[in-house]
Amino acid sequence: MTETTAPMMQEQLGKAENRVWKKFRSHRSALLGGILVSFFVLIAVLAPILPIPDPATTSWSAVRKAPSMAHWMGTDEIGRDVMARLIWGAQASLLAGVVSVGIAMCLGVPLGILAGYFGGWTDAIISRCTEALLAAPFLILAIALAAFLGPSLTNAMIAIGISATPIFIRLTRGQVLNVRSEDYVDSARAIGLPTPKILRRYILPNVLPPILVQATLTIATAIIAEASLSFLGLGQQAPAPSWGSMLNTAKNFLNQAPWMAMWPGISIFLVVLGFNLLGDGLRDALDPREH
């Protein structure tokens, strides 16, 4: 890149970023999604310093108490504060969402780039494996993997991460196929840049936007998957709180303590809705056809 073209490109890049941000800001539902996600991230991060009771402290004098001034969201079957468990449970849910999507991206993006850029046998092998993994329904695969790995939050995150990997391989591969024949990639090859550098500097940055959109939407799916696994007893283990395991216990006390089931469900719904709105908004903002 020459010295005169560099500032021009910087300026154009700045303009594009500005346009995307403006578009995103004007997307009211995406902003609502951002607010919802930020709220849950904030309470999850601040959980240790918030003035709430210990989520594991039981109280036999406060078993299944309805919401009151002392316990805003009521108490559970062994007298633990539901709100405290909900706030600490947000940590497990968000962590599971982000870590499992992180695993899926770390595995899926490089494999997708390899398949798309090199084509031939590399592509054939990676693509067939991707199709095989995609054939097993996402939750069934996650349940099977979690079962074989053993029940724990870490294993649930690994299971969800592996199950979500093929989505990223396929998406990245498709994007790379679009980008690899672009003039700037041809030029990079023509001036003799080594392949790893071409992949890192020219391919990856150009395929990243749709992958980020997909990542946001997959976090929503991963949070539901973690809640489902914990609900089935394959995720977060007692006494550590998680929204899914709270619902699992709550279903046994529906008649006596319906609030136990209400709050975790509403929380899952709101955070998942937040990520879905955010993902939809990002997709619209980053879609060049919309400009």
Partner 1 sequence: MLLFLTRRILIALPTIILISIFVFALQKLLPGDPLLVLAGEERDPAVLELLREKYRLNDPIVVQYFTWVSNALQGDLGISLRTNQPVTELMLQKLPVTLQLAAMSMIFALVIGVPAGILSAYKKGSLTDYIANVVALSGLSIPNFWLGIMLILLVSVKWQLLPASGYVPLSEDFLQSIRTMLMPSFVLGTALAATMMRHTRSAMLGVLSADYVRTARAKGLTERRVVLKHAFRNALTPIVTLTALLFGELVAGAVLTEQIFTIPGFGKMVVDAVFNRDYAVVQGIVLVTAVGFIFMNLVADALYFILNPRLRGQ
**In angstroms, rounded to a whole number, what is the distance separating the alpha carbons of residues 269 and 238?**
22
208 binds partner 1 (CB under 8 A): no
160 and 139 Cβ atoms separated by less than 8 Å: no
Distance of CA 88 to the CA centre of its chain: 18
235 binds partner 1 (CB under 8 A): no
CA dihedral 181, 187, 190, 195 (to 10 degrees): -70
228 binds partner 1 (CB under 8 A): yes
If one counts every other C-beta atom within 10 angstroms of the C-beta of residue 277, the result is 23
66 binds partner 1 (CB under 8 A): no
**In angstroms, rounded to a whole number, what is the distance separating the alpha carbons of residues 201 and 221?**
30
Residue 175 CB-half CA count within 13 A: 26
Task: Sort 189 into a burial class: Cβ within 10 Å, 0-12 / 13-18 / 19+.
Answer: middle
Binding-site member from 73, 105, 213, 227 for partner 1 (CB under 8 A): 227
Binding-site member from 69, 120, 148, 181 for partner 1 (CB under 8 A): 148
137 binds partner 1 (CB under 8 A): yes
Task: Sort 289 into a burial class: Cβ within 10 Å, 0-12 / 13-18 / 19+.
Answer: exposed
Segment interacting with partner 1, rule: CB under 8 A, options 13-21, 46-54, 169-177, 219-227: 219-227
131 binds partner 1 (CB under 8 A): yes
224 binds partner 1 (CB under 8 A): yes
232 binds partner 1 (CB under 8 A): yes
**In angstroms, rounded to a whole number, what is the distance separating the alpha carbons of residues 206 and 16?**
13
43 and 270 Cβ atoms separated by less than 8 Å: no
Nearer to partner 1, 143 or 203 (CB): 143
The residues in 270-289 that bind partner 1, with binding defined as CB under 8 A, are 272-273, 276-277, 280
262 binds partner 1 (CB under 8 A): yes
Binding-site member from 53, 79, 210, 233 for partner 1 (CB under 8 A): 233
Q: Closest separation between CB of residue 227 and partner 1, Å?
A: 6
Q: Interface with partner 1 by CB under 8 A: which residues?
A: 128-129, 131-133, 135-141, 143-148, 220, 224, 227-228, 231-234, 247, 250-251, 254-255, 258, 261-262, 264-265, 268-269, 272-273, 276-277, 280
